[in-house]
Amino acid sequence: MGRNSKKDKRIKYSKGEGGSSAMRVIVVLFFLILFVVGASMFFNQKSALDRVTTRSESLAEKEAAASIENEEAKALMKKVGTDTFTEEMARNELGMVMPGETVYETQN
C-alpha cells in the first residue's frame, strides 16, 4: 500500500497541474503589468530629464549674456569718473564744444 499511496499522490499532483494554468496567467499578467509600469516610469523620467536639460542650457546661455553685460558695466564704471569720459559725453550727448573751437556743420 505504501507504493500505491505514493502513486496516488503523484497522480493527484499531475492532475493539479491543469489547474495551475490560471496561476500561470496571473503570474504572466503580473509581470506584464510590472513591465508596463516600469516602462512608463522610465519614459516619464526621460521626459523630465529632457525638460531639465533644456532649461539648464537656457539658463547657461542667460548666465553667459549676463556675465558679458556685467563686464561691460564694470568697464563703463571705470570710465565714468575720468575727464575723457566727461568730455566725450558733453560733446556727443549734449553737443557742447570747448572754448575757442569752431563747429562746422555739413549737409549730406
Contact yes or no for 96/90 (Cβ under 8 A)? yes
pLDDT digits 0-9 by tens, 54-81: 999 999 999 999 999 999 999 999 988 8
pTM greater than 0.75: no
CA distance 41 to 47: 10
Contact yes or no for 97/103 (Cβ under 8 A)? yes
Confidence of residue 17 (pLDDT cuts 50, 70, 90): low
- What does pLDDT average to over the chain? 85
What's the pLDDT at 15?
47
CA distance 100 to 102: 7
